Amino acid sequence: MKTRVLSAIAIIAIFVPFLIIGGYPFTGLVTILSLLGLYELLKVRESRKKFPTLLKIVAYLLTVYFCLYNTGSIEYSNYIDYRVISLIIFVFLSPMVFINDTKKYNLNDALFLIGSVLFIGFSFNLIIITRNYDLIYILYLLIITTITDTFAMFTGMMVGKHKLCPKISPGKTIEGLIGGVLIGTFVASAYYNTVISPHAPLVFVIMLTLVLCLIGQLGDLIFSTIKRYYGVKDFSELIPEHGGILDRFDSLIFVILAYIIVHGIL
């Protein structure tokens, strides 16, 4: 537990200053995190089958391109176009013809690379766009994920008896989920109505925040499913007692993906 707490303090000490400063420093940090996230995702996949080295390099380059694409914008609806997606699809499907060996590279490999680059690049690009839009909105999403995750863990440790998804995440309990979601909803809703929009309908804010808290926990379980499928405990050992980048950003990724659907309604 001591190591876990010290690691959490180190994460905060590194991430928060960049978050507050924003701009190029924050964009640079998030881009590095996206590369680490892609590395972790490819690493668990390569526990079963290796990718051609050149295509992995291309995947990293395209992730950087996708992550940085139109980061000067603050509009969710105008930051991407089909040319980027078409490029990624073309680049990873074409090598099947030239390699001409399904044992070295096949459709499953191509689709995994396409999905990984789109998923990681898209998600981390959204983090940058949201921070560019306004610091108060990214803080709202971070409050949702941090408070929900933290109190889900503590509630589960104190009163958790009923397993939530024992085959996916044996440590999670129904009591922990309820405690984390309730406290996360209360704190994040209070923040939204105090800092972001005091005139927003309180009931709608609470319902939106409740849904986002639940989606954050869903994201955690989805990433846990990926880890269980590949037989690993964590995506990496980058952060002692916390795992890798994807272990720390799993909830935020799904919360921010859900948030852009309703952004602008409030």
Last residue of a domain, one of 133, 160, 195: 133
pLDDT of residue 79: 56
Which residue has 């990873």 as its token pair? 92
Give the residue numbers spanning the domain of 118: 1-133
User: 194 and 78, same structural domain?
Assistant: no
pLDDT of residue 10: 82
User: 122 and 183, same structural domain?
Assistant: no
User: 92 and 80, same structural domain?
Assistant: yes
User: 114 and 180, same structural domain?
Assistant: no
- The total number of structural domains in the chain stands at 2
Give the mean pLDDT of the chain: 90
CA 173 to chain centre: 22
pTM of the predicted structure, to 2 decimals: 0.91
- Model pLDDT for residues 167-204, shown as the tens digit of each residue: 888 889 999 999 999 999 999 999 999 999 999 899 99
Distance, CA of 57 to CA of 77 (rounded, Å): 29
User: 21 and 148, same structural domain?
Assistant: no
Percent of the chain with pLDDT over 70: 94
Which residue has 């078409």 as its token pair? 86
User: 92 and 211, same structural domain?
Assistant: no
Q: 3-class SS at 105?
A: coil
Last residue of a domain, one of 105, 133, 161: 133
- Model pLDDT for residues 15-32, shown as the tens digit of each residue: 899 999 999 999 999 999
- Model pLDDT for residues 93-130, shown as the tens digit of each residue: 999 999 988 989 999 999 999 999 999 999 999 999 99
Last residue of a domain, one of 87, 111, 133: 133
User: 192 and 121, same structural domain?
Assistant: no
Question: Residue type at 8?
Answer: A
